[in-house]
Amino acid sequence: QVQLVESGGGLVQPGGSLRLSCAASGIIFSDYAMAWYRQAPGKQRDFLAIISSGNSRNYAGSVKDRFTISRDNAKNTVYLQMNSLKPEDTAVYYCRATGMDNYWGQGTQVTVSS
């Protein structure tokens, strides 16, 4: 059974930082590209960042100067370091495993507010 479990969300003030984690099980993690998305209330789910099995990275233009994606294959975990957070970053953040199949986590809420 494949599971992706996000953690690390919460309430943070504008300008603050958070690091999200997504722990995977039931897949050969190193074979999958891993990505982060987010969905704000009433909006579509948007792509944020992806890291390939070979550690190539791509980012959405809106976050590339503030967010960093990384992975630890030994821990089957992908991370999203988020800096200089803004109220418009408030959303549910999801990780996705992309390979022979696609899998999604359940999401973690990030709220940026003073």
Which residues in 36-71 are b (16+ Cβ under 10 Å) and which e?
A: bbbeeeeeeeeebbbbebeeeeebeeebeeebbbeb
Q: CA angle, 25 as apex, 17 and 2 as ends, to 5°? A: 110
User: How many other CB atoms sit within 10 Å of the CB of residue 114?
Assistant: 8
Q: pLDDT value at position 100? A: 85
Tokens of 75: 């821990």
Tens of pLDDT, residue by residue, the chain (114 residues): 999 999 999 999 999 999 999 999 999 999 999 999 999 999 999 999 999 999 999 999 999 999 999 999 999 999 999 999 999 999 999 999 999 899 999 999 999 999
Q: pLDDT value at position 74? A: 97
Tokens of 107: 């999401």
Q: pLDDT value at position 18? A: 98
